[in-house]
Each structure stands twice: as structure tokens, then as C-alpha cells.
Chain A
Amino acid sequence: MESQTHNEEQGVEHLFRRLQDFPDDASLHFDIGLFLWEKGGEANGSTEKAAEHFIESAKLNPKNGEPFKYLGHYYGRISIDTQRALKCYQRAVALNPDDSDSGEALCNLLYQGGKDSLEAAVCREASEKSPRAFWAFRRLGFLQVHQKKWSEAVQNLQHAIRGYPTCAELWEALGLAYQRLGRYTAAIKSYGRAIELDDKMVFALVESGNISLTLGSFRKGVEQFRQALEISSQCVPAQYGLALGLLCLAKDCMNLGAFKWGASLLEEASEVARASAYSVRNVSCIWKLYADVQLAYARCYPWIEEVQELEANKEAFSASIISWRRTCLSAARLARFSYQRALHLCPWQANIYADIAVTSDLITSLDKDYERDLDACRQLPEKMCVGALLLEGDNYEFWVTLGCLSDQNALNQHALIRGLQLNVSLAVAWGYLGKLYSKMSKKKLARQMFDRARSIDPSLALPWASMSADCCVRESAPDEAFESCSQAVQMMPLAEFQIGLTKLAMLSGHLSSTQVFGAIQQAVQRSPHYPESHNLHGLVCESRKDYRSAAISYRIALHAISIALLDNQNSQIKDVSINLARSLCKAGNAVDAIQECENLRKEGMLDFEVFQVYAISLWQLGKNDLALSIVRSLAASVSSMEKTAMEISVSFIFRLLYYISGLDAVITNIMKMPKELIQSSKVNFVMSAIDALDGHNRLGFLVSRNLYFLNDHDEIDRVHFLIALGKLVKNGHDGFLAVQSGIAYLKRILHMFPNCSLIRNLVGYLSLSGKESNSCHLATRCCKLDHLDLSDKEGLKSASDIHGAAVVACYANGNSNPKSTFQTCTNQCSRGPAAIRYLQRYFHQKPWNHDARYLLILTYFQRAREERFPHQLCVILNRLICVALSNEFCGKKEMCYEYRQFQLLLCASEISLQCGNHITSISHAQKASVLVLPDNYLFFAHLLLCRVYAIKGDLLNCKKEYIRCLELRTDCHIGWMSLKLMECHYQLQIDSNVIDSNFEECLKKGANSWNMWIAVYNLVRGLISFHQKDLISAEELMREACSMAGFESCLFLCHGAICMELARQYGGSMLLSWAVDSLNRFHELLPISLPLASLLVAQAEGSLGAKDKWDRSIRLEWYSWPSVMRPAELYFQMHLVVRQLKDGPNVTGRLESSHSAWRWVIRAIHMNPSCMRYWKVLQKLMQ
């Protein structure tokens, strides 16, 4: 520091010395002046000296502005000579318009002197002189903003901002100017920049909030006001804006019907507005806002209670209604008080009069006590309206308000017409006028008015509601009425409209639609005292199958009726009570339902619906006698009912009789019924169902005759469905269903109704359960599967289920991977992988669908089997099965679920077995073996156990299980065959004929395809003989099998192969020609070429000496292998083919000629280098 001052002093001394040398140097004077000026704080004398030097400098060089500036400072601040200061500054600015210090100082002085116009002139002059005089632009901009010259201000401010881009005030001012010019987006941007530069800019925040509100983005506005309040919590405009923004948001919510949300916003708004009103107190508009918020609250506050708790407690319900009403009322009263305060502050504001009128009207409607001094209160709204009109007679809105609030029709009409005279396109006024006319029952006039209102403003709810009421009266178009009313509700969620909508929905069958559900829920919130809203809510819940809530609503409706003390109370109570009884019954609460029915009976208010509910509830409780007596009394009254009621009652009686008294009783009853009662479609359907169960066909005549009365396709389909099921029962014997006769019938029907998916699915289902060979393919072809099944009907099998089951049923999964297996199923060649995908899609569609998962698991298991149980698949399967077992079947004891569990356990066991995990495998299989299932199925659990023990080497247990299998027996052919194979493999045999005789017994039961089964059994025996090296008997058995089932390709393959082997061992062209025959037959039957088969043919042909046939077969063989898997021997054989070609120069095939013989051999060696034969041939070839 010291050295610095030392330096300075040295500098000054130097300056002074030079001044002595050059006394006329202006800049020297200026430098000295500057030095003295800056030292000015320390010694008073120095500023005067400085001024002298400045004067000197100015005199010497009058073109330099700097000395003038400092002189201006001197006069302005020290010697307080404003005039001189002004002159000096003016000079400085004139010399250098960019000099912001002088400019600012000059303007400040002018401003202090109140010379605004001079100030502006100075700034303008400077700005015109130099575009870089940013201070002047800024000053000018501010001035113009002050003078409300917005568009000029914008220009100048924009220019100034180029000089001071980080000056928040400039941005703020620019924002204001834009705002006033109506350029809101630009304004918001400017304010935003200001806030960015300085986050304490309350004004900018408030104003951008205001703009947001104006533009309708309330949420943003609210946020900005909140921010402003964080900076300055007492800022009244921000408080006002926040409350207003919240009010606007709340109104949006109310228009959506989100009353609770709206109320919570209004509570906050009210808090803010109240604080603001009580802190400032004398601002009318804040009081008015507060009142507006309260009024909205009174209109929005919803009744939300835990209805379950009020269900049984009428007092609590009543109390909650009263408290709800009190909340609304006190809000309305508060609103009126606040309006009065506002009015008191600004009595010239006409609209507050109107507001008070509206609020008073609301209070009157909310408060029952007002009815006491009726006249005075009724007239209050009217009077206040007139007050508003006295102040502003030409305001049409007030006229409309008066038109709505007065209760004298003539005055109403006059007021509304007056309003229309002032503004002819006032849709509201037209609407209200229409309402007035329809109240006065001038229908035509009313409609005209409404039409006009709607054409002016289609978004007005009232005309739509009226239109709906119109349609409703005509009773011709309930749908149209519903549509119109739903329009009205969407525009304005008013409880009246919503209740009307629900009623219309009841008439037009839209009761379960979402819109109605939402509407009636909102209606309950806003008119909880009105019994009908609860009743309708109950009906809506009922239509959505939520019977418990429905019952609660009905109970509450009953409470509401008893509180409301209406005129036609009894009929209402009856209606609601019937509803209550019905929904209680449907909810499974029979005891309460009976209670309700008995109450109704005491009142003598029984109708057919109550009878039904009564009877069903009694039946559910097991009081069959009472139920029957009720049914009897219902039957007695049937003849006096109207048609639909009669149909319903009759079919109901039949059904209940069937459940209580059984099949025979109901059939005798039907026979006794007068014919005209049972001719309707509904009754007929029930009759068909009963007939289907009846083995004696007692009703057949009636049912088939009634078929002619039906003309609806769906109904006909369903009856045929039942008849087909009936065929199963009627033509069946010994507990077996006659599946084939059912299918035969359905096929005929399908011819008539080729489009009926119901019938198609049943055909598919039945053919699958028929267990015929190839039935699975028939099933898939029957069921249409154009799109994934979207219905959620339970009970009937869907097309997807049938497809899935068919895929499982086909032994060949159609795996596309040739490494694991070859496709041999002739019917369904390509569906396998697609089927797995399909089932996944089905499962993805409905992941809670256990059928889908079950089928997916089984299909996957098939795939795993075909691919020889790869580890990856086994892991997935294990996981899937594990879950399926754990949550699927709990609590369900039906046989089909037990069966599924059994099946899954066997799958799990098999997988464990394949993974080498014998212990788990055994435990799964043992679990399966103890399920409650017919022996027929359990057989397989023990068969599997037998296998596992055998593989494990535990022969003792294996034998035990084998014996257990023999004891249990099964109807399934495959079972016996497997057991036979096991028996032979592990020498378990006890008695040579047991299995044979069992198998024959089994054959007798399923009569249909025994040829095929015998053939297969012969195949099995043949294989066993083959294993025992008894080739001759094996050949015999195979031959027999082939003759039994001439359509089964694999039998011929086996026969052919065995013949070849025999021929190899014993020689003989006879055997060879047999082999050739069989193998050729095999080729004819199987459409695809199976590896090795052609090779066998080739060998046989070759041995017989037919060279070209050999040649052709080898080539066939070549093509039947997938390219990656061809064995070495095949290459070698090809070499032979090529060599033969060389010998006989006939046709040159493409394939053979591509390689020379020795190359084929080389390839064979490459495949299998260990075979000496190939090497030898190669050696020979090389030579």
C-alpha cells in the first residue's frame, strides 16, 4: 500500500513539474484535476483545486467532455449549484453522448427538478446522436414506460438491453411493455429473463403469473405466484393472484366433476384470500375474490363418507347429511358476508349486487329454516338483482340473472327478453327462456328457444338436457335421449343431469357403462339427501355385478327416504326394498334377503320379482318346503301376469323345481303346464336344458315342436347345442357319453349354421374327448381361430382352449429343429412351433387364465420331450410347474383340477427323471399316486414309479409298482403297452398272459378303432420279440400288424427293417422283396422323406440287383437328410453312385457330377476318419 501511495505521489510530483513546463497542456490539467478529485475525500480543499484544474483544462480544450463531467459532479455534489451542474453535464453529454455517467447524472438532476420532458429530450438527443448511448435508451425506455408509451418503450428498451444485457430491471420493464401491448408470450419471455437474472423480482413473477392466468394456464400461474410469495410473503397482488389461480383450477376440476379435488384447492384458495383480505381489509376486489372462493366451495363441497359405516346406522347417516349441508351453507353465508363487505367498500359496483343475489338464492335453496319467513327471503335475490340493474340497466347479464332468480314467471320472461334485446346472441338467455316456457308447458315455443340456444352455443348443457327430456317424453328413442343427456352431463356435471342420465341409461340399457358410473358417483357426492341418487347408484353397482355395494346404496336410499319425508314415500320404499332384496340375494346374503322379503310381504307389496328372490333365498338356506310353497303361490299368479314377467316366472319355476325336486318332478310339471305358457323362447331354453338331462326323452316332442317358434339365430344355436348335449346323455350307456352321436348331430347342424362358433367349439371339444385317432386335427380344423379370444365367458371351452388341447393331443409337436426329431405326423405338419407361440399369446392375453398356463406347460413338455429334454427347457418347465402346482388348485376339489394336478406332477416327475434327479422324481410321482382319482389314471403314476425304480436299479420296488399297476388296471391302451415293454425290459413278468388279457378287455370297451390298437399291440410284441432276438416271430407279428392297419406308415417301416435283417442273417430273395414292398408302402404313406428309410430300400433293391432303383433310392436318401447331419456312410454311398455312373454312361445328374468319386470318398473320410474301409477305397481310387 505504502509503496503504491508513494508511487502515486511521485507521479503527481512529476505531473506538477511538467505542468510548470507546459502550463497550456489541457490533458495535464485534467490529470491533476482527476488526481485531486479522487483524493477529494481526505482534504476538503483538494476538490476545489481539482475543479480549478478542470476549468483550466476545459478552457484549454473545450472539445473534451471529461472535464465537464467532473465539473458537473463538482457543482452537483459539492458546491450544490444545480444550474451550473446542469450546464456542465449538458456540455459533457453534447460532446460525448456515450458518456453514461454524465447522462445519468444530468437526467437525475432533471428528474429531481421535475423536468420530465427536458429529461426525455436530452435522452432522445443523445440516443439520436449515438447508437451506443445505451444509458439514454434505458432512461428513455423507463420514461416511456412511465408515460405508458408502450410501443416506443419497447424499441428503446430493446436497444438498451443490447448495452445492458444483464440488467434485470430492463427486462422487467420490457416485459411490462409487451404485456400492455397484449404480446403475452413475448412478455412472459422477458419476465422470465428478468427472473433468471435476479430471482428476487417479485413484480415480474406476479405479472407473469397474471399473464398465465389470462392465457388459461392456471397451474403455471399458481406456481409463479407461490414463488413470488416465497420472496415476499406479504405481497398482496401475489396473494390475490394465487387465490384466483387456485379458484380457476378448482373450477376446472368442478367441470370435470372432481369435487373433492376442487374442494381441496378451494380450501387453500380460501386460506390465502382470507389472510389477504384480513390484512388489507379495504380492497373491495379481494373481498369479492374471497366471496367467490367461498361460493364455489359451497357449490363444490362433496359428501364423501365411508358408506359401509352408515349402512346400518340411520342416525349417523342423517347426521352426516346435516353436517354436509351445514358446511355448504356456512360457506355460502360466508360468501354473502364477504360480498357485502366488498359492496360496502365499492357500492357503485353493480356486479356485486348480482353476486349477492345469486348467493342468497343458493342459501335459500340450501337452508330449510328459511322457509319460515318465506316472503322476505324469497324476494331478497330479486331485490338485489334489481339493485344491480338500477346501476347498470344496459347490462344484459344482470337481466338474465334476474330472469333466473325471480319466482314470478311474467317477470322472468320480461327480464330474459330484455336481456335478449340487449344481446341477441345470448345463448344462456335463450336456454333459460326455453326452460321457462317448458315450465309453463308451452312445448313448441320452448323447443324453438332451446334450438336457438343450441345453435348459438353448442357447448351449453341446458339445451341438450332439454332435448333429452323431449326424447324421453316421446318414448320413441331412449338411445337418443341418453346421448343428448350424456352430452349435457359432459358439459356440466350437475347432479340433476347426472341422475337423469342414469334414469335414461336404465331405459336404454346403458346402465353398466362407465360414463353412467362416473356420473352417478358424482351425483351422490352432490345430492346425498336425495334418495333417488342412492337408489340409482345401487342399480348401477348391481349392473356391474358389485352386489355388496349395491345393497349398501339401497339401504342408504331407504334412510334418505325416511329422512326426506316425501309424499309418495310408500311406493318409493317398495321399489328400493325390492332392489335391496334382490341385490342381497345376489350377493349371497340369503338371510337378509329373506328378512327384506318378509317385510315386503307384511306390507303386502309382493310381486313376481320378490317371489323369485324369496324362493331363491329360501332354497339357498335349504328351506326347500318353504321355497316350494312360495313357488306355488308364484305359479298361481302366473296367468295374470304380462308376457315378459310370465316368461321369466315360468322359466324360474322350472329351474327351481329342478333343483329342489329333481328331474322327474319338473318334467311332470312341464307336462301339466298349459301349452301357451311354454311357447316362449326363454322357457323353451330351460326346457331344452332339462330335456337334455333326461334319458327317457319325455320332453323331446315339446322341445322339437317349440324349435319352430324360434327365429333368433342365437337362440336356435343354443337350443341345438343343448340337444347335442342331450344326445350324449340319451344315447350313452353304462356311464359313458355317446360322443360320436353328439358329433354326428352337430355336424348336421353345422351344415345349417356354418358360422356358429358355439357349435363349432362344441364339435371340437367333443371330438377331442372322443379320443379317436386324428381327432385332434379334426378339432383344430373345426374351431375358427381368426382372432385371439376376447370374450370372458366362463364355463364353455373357448376356441383357444380347444386349439391348445389339440396341440397337446398330437404326439408330434412339429419341431422345426431337425437335430432332435423328424416330423412324422401326417396331419399337422407345421403347427408345432406356431402352437407354442400361440399358447404364449393366449397366456399373455390372460395371464390369470390357468387353462392357458396348463396347456402351455404341457405343450412345452412335449417340445422338451422331442428335443430330448435339454437342460434349459427343463429349468423353465420346473419353474412353471412349480407355480402352477402351488397356487392353481388350492381349494378346488373337483375331479378335473385333481386330474390336472396329477398330470403336472407326472410332468414334474418325468423332468426330474430326465435330469437324473431320481429322488425328486419319485416324490413327485408318489404325490401323484395318492391323489383322489380313478384307478384308471393312478395306473400311470405307478407306471412312472416303476420306470424310475427300474432306472435307479431298485428292482424290488420296481416289481412292487409293477404289481400295483396290474392291480389298478387302466382303460388306456398305451398304458398296457408301456407296461408290456417294461415287463420285458426288466424281466418283471409274473404271468405271461395278464397283460394280454387286460389289453383285450381294454379293446372291447373302446370299440371304434380296435384294428389300429391290435396292430400297435402287435408292433409292441414284435419289438419285444426283436429284442429277444426272435426275428422270425417278430416278422410274423409285424406282418400281421401291417395287415390290420394298412394306413400306418411306421408299421411298414418296422416290418421292412426286420425283413432286411432276416434277409441279412438267413438270405432269401423272398424276404428282400417283402422288405421292398413294405418300404415302398411306407414311402407311399408318409409324405415326407425320413432318413435311413430310403437307404434301406436301396440296400434291398441293391441286393435284389435292381441297379437303377438302388441308385434312385440312394439319391433320395441324400435329399432326406438335413445338410448338416449327413453321415459319412452316405457320402461313401454317393461315391458308389458316381462310380456306377462312370461305368454306364447314361444320364448325368447334377448332384453326382459335381464331385468326382474320390472327392466323395474324401468327404466321407473327413466325416469319419476312423473307418478303414473308406481309406482302402481311397487308396484304390488313387491308384
Chain B
Amino acid sequence: MKLAGIKSVENAHDDSIWAATWLPSTASRPPLLLTGSLDETVRMWRSDDLVLERTNTGHCLGVASVAAHPLGSIAASSSLDSFVRVFDVDSNATIATLEAPPSEVWQMRFDPKGAVLAVAGGGSASVKLWDTNTWELVATLSIPRPEGSKPTDKSGSKKFVLSVAWSPDGKRLACGSMDGTISVFDVQRGKFLHHLEGHYMPVRSLVYSPYDPRLLFTASDDTNVHMYDAEGKALVGNMSGHASWVLCVDVSPDGAAIATGSSDKTVRLWDLAMRASVQTMSNHTDQVWGVAFRPDGRGGRLASVSDDKSVSLYDYS
């Protein structure tokens, strides 16, 4: 497997780009790349030439996260002041705005069926689930307090929830916190199951393997990428190689490789069979905040976005 650069757009945004995700194709258009940036805009790019399709404005602070509905028609973006805007991709009509106290919205992900939007709740130490039909809050999955701490004790804010991921069957939900713990929830019963331990610094990104609802990949500031058996509560693999924080991770649609982006300004491709880094792309000149594999389509594509304001697209084969 390898990555080959296809196209890179310098100054794709006016400032640092913080988030990227792929909108699946619909009947009327091919898949689009969605990026969110500190310049308070969300932009859509047509693959493979990375032609700018549209720029959405409306946020008042930097856009920290974007999420794409599995059907490709709806997307959501959130800014640092925790203002979530859900919009129709083709018309840019606002479908809903979800408000939460600032710092209580971080990463967002739609569930595989598209019925629920999970929002990592930042300082609230929980994951909020929004129904995508009514856009009402349907559940709050809270991380239980560690034993021995009083409810009045505000050290609960230590569990700042940064990232969230759905298992491919939609039954489980995992979220990563600032103190390095990962919490796994049973979504149907709305119940906390257990913590996964091993990271000791913030977990900024995590993703389930598309084939195996047990296998979870996590990226952390402690420079490691971990592979967990999320059901058996066991750390089953450790991939190290980045020189600084690992900010983002995504798994390839064939489930054979993962890509990571890091503060050391590189994108790495990891072969899961070898559990080793097989390629390092160092075309970015600042930290890489987002990597995303294109979910469908014939040729494998990986996009990466960075603080250096550029978007890069690679061929994955």
C-alpha cells in the first residue's frame, strides 16, 4: 500500500484548517471534501482537482469540527463557541442550529445509519446525542466520575471530551478525553461500559475499524497510536513513530491501513498487518489537524488539512 500526492492547494483557507471530512456522493454529485478553518468558514471541494465548490460563512469563531451525514446530503459544522450549524449540502440552507454552552461541543460524528448526531461534549464530560429528524437532544452519555471524588468537585473538567467515534454497527460509541482515557458506551441502553486505559495525554481522535466492531484506533498527544479491543478492554497494539502529538487518525475503507496526522507536520500511513509506519508524507509545513479517507468511489483517496492553510489529496492504493 502506498500514498501518492495528487494535488495540493496552498492557502485553501485564509487561516489554519482544523477539520476535514468527506461527504459521500449522492445521485446528483460526486463526493465532496468538507473543510473547516480558523477563518470561520466551511469550504467544499470537488475531488480530484480540489476545485472550490462553495464557501459557507456564518460562524463567529474558528470552525473546530465538521461532520458528514452518511447519505451525503446533510453536514454539520461547529465553532469554538459551541455553535453547531446543520445544513443542506446542496442548497446551503440551514436545517438546524444546535446551541450548547461554549466549550461543550468539540468533535461531531453522525452514526452509520445517520439517525443520530453524536457530539463530544467538551467540558461537560459527556457525549450528547441529537436526533437527526427532530434535532432534539435525545440522550446524554456521561462519563462517570472517578471513585472518591465529590460531585461538587469540579475536577470533573479534567475529563474534557475531545473526540467521539461510532462502531460500524452503530451499537457502541467511544469517546476520548483530555486525560487520555477512552470511554466506551452502549448506545441502545445509554449505558457507560468501561474505560480503555493506556494513553496519558489527550486523545484527540479515534475511529473504529470499518469491519470489526471491536477494533478501535486512537490518536493521542503522547505521540502514540493505539489499537484497542474495545469490548475486551485490552490494549492490543501500539504504533509509535510520530515525533509530536498525534492529532488525527482515520482508517482506510478496506480496513487494512490507517493514516495519522501530527504536530510534527507529517502524515503517516500505517500498515495494520505489520503494525508499522510504511510511509511518511512531509509536504505540510505546519501541524496536520485532519486526515480523511474517502469512503466510497473507485480509487482510494486520502485528504489532509493543516495549520499551514493547505489541503492535500493523495491517492491510496
Contact = CB atoms under 8 A, between A and B. Distances in A.
Contacts of B102: 879-880, 883
B278 interface: no
Interface stretch (A253-261, A658-666, A1144-1152): A253-261
Q: Which of A259, A514, A846, A876 is the most central at the interface, judged by chain B CB atoms within 10 Å of its CB?
A: A514
Interface string B56-92: 0000111010000000000000001110000000000
Interface in B89-103: 101-103
Nearest to A892: B154
Contacts of B106: 847
A887 B234 contact: no
A226 interface: no
A887 B61 contact: no
Give the interface size bracket for B toward A: 35 or more
Contacts of A880: 81, 102
Given A843-B80, A853-B103, A891-B154, A219 B236 contact: no
A257 B62 contact: no
Contacts of B60: 872-873, 875-876
A891 B158 CA distance: 14
A562 B119 CA distance: 49
Interface in B213-237: 214, 221-222, 224, 226-227, 229, 231-237
Contacts of B197: 517
Nearest to B230: A261
Given A841-B307, A853-B103, A891-B153, A515 B62 contact: no
A536 to B, nearest CB: 16
A518 interface: yes
B231 A844 contact: no
A521 interface: yes
A879 B81 contact: yes
A193 B10 CA distance: 47
Q: Which of B197, B221, B236, B275 is the most central at the interface, judged by chain A CB atoms within 10 Å of its CB?
A: B236
A840 interface: yes
Contacts of B153: 891
Q: Is the interface of A mostly helix, strand, loop or mixed?
A: helix
Contact of B101 (A522, A847, A883): A883
A837 B123 contact: no
B110 interface: no
B282 interface: no
A890 interface: yes
A788 B247 CA distance: 14
Given A261-B214, A848-B178, A853-B103, A841 B200 contact: no
B234 A258 contact: yes
A903 interface: no
B240 A261 contact: no
A515 B103 contact: no
B235 A876 contact: no
Given A841-B16, A879-B102, A264 B232 contact: yes
Contacts of B162: 847
Contacts, number: 125
Interface residues of A, number: 45
A512 B200 contact: yes
Interface in A862-893: 872-873, 875-876, 879-880, 882-883, 886-887, 890-891
Contact of A876 (B16, B81, B158, B200): B81
A490 interface: yes
B249 to A, nearest CB: 15
A790 interface: yes
B160 interface: yes
A256 B245 CA distance: 24
Interface string A260-272: 1100100000000
B37 to A, nearest CB: 10
B265 to A, nearest CB: 10
B103 A256 contact: no
A792 to B, nearest CB: 7
A887 B158 CA distance: 12
A840 B81 contact: no
A148 interface: no
A883 B232 contact: no
A115 interface: no
A514 B263 CA distance: 19
B170 interface: no
Nearest to A875: B60
B244 A790 contact: yes
Given A840-B62, A880-B102, A883-B102, A847 B245 contact: no
B152 interface: yes
B199 A514 contact: yes
B296 interface: no
Contact of A521 (B152, B234, B275): B234
Given A882-B101, A883-B101, A257 B236 contact: yes
B81 A259 contact: no
Contacts of A39: none
B49 interface: no
A545 interface: yes
A847 B229 contact: no
Contacts of A872: 60
B297 to A, nearest CB: 22
B61 A260 contact: no
Contacts of A219: 211-212
B261 interface: no
A886 B101 CA distance: 10
Nearest to A891: B154
Q: Which of B103, B104, B153 is the most central at the interface, judged by chain A CB atoms within 10 Å of its CB?
A: B103
Contacts of A841: 16, 38, 62, 307
A934 to B, nearest CB: 25
B122 interface: yes
A837 B101 contact: no
B18 interface: yes
Contact of A253 (B82, B104, B160, B236): B236
B15 interface: yes
A853 B287 CA distance: 21
A544 interface: yes
Contacts of A260: 229, 231-234
Given A847-B162, A879-B81, A886-B101, A261 B232 contact: yes
B103 A514 contact: no
Contacts of B234: 257-261, 521-522, 525
Contacts of B178: 848
Nearest to B148: A548
Interface in A503-532: 512, 514-515, 517-518, 521-522, 525
Contacts of A264: 231-232
B38 A514 contact: no
A514 B226 contact: yes
B199 to A, nearest CB: 7
Interface in B260-285: 263, 275
Interface in B178-230: 178, 197-202, 211-212, 214, 221-222, 224, 226-227, 229
Contact of A514 (B64, B221, B238, B275): B238
A486 to B, nearest CB: 10
A887 B152 CA distance: 11
User: Considering the complex of A and B, which 4 residue pairs feature the smallest CB-CB distances, nearest first?
Assistant: A260-B232, A848-B160, A518-B235, A256-B236
Interface of B: 15-16, 18, 38, 60-62, 64, 80-82, 101-104, 106, 122-123, 152-154, 157-158, 160, 162, 178, 197-202, 211-212, 214, 221-222, 224, 226-227, 229, 231-238, 240, 244-245, 263, 275, 287, 307
Interface of A: 219, 253, 256-261, 264, 304, 490, 512, 514-515, 517-518, 521-522, 525, 544-545, 788, 790, 792, 837, 840-841, 843-844, 846-848, 853, 872-873, 875-876, 879-880, 882-883, 886-887, 890-891
Given A490-B275, A788-B287, A847-B160, 12 more contacts: A260-B234, A261-B214, A261-B236, A514-B198, A840-B61, A847-B80, A847-B103, A847-B106, A848-B103, A848-B178, A872-B60, A879-B101
19 contacts: A260-B229, A260-B232, A261-B214, A261-B229, A261-B232, A512-B200, A514-B222, A514-B224, A521-B235, A788-B263, A790-B245, A792-B201, A837-B16, A837-B62, A841-B38, A847-B103, A848-B103, A876-B60, A879-B102
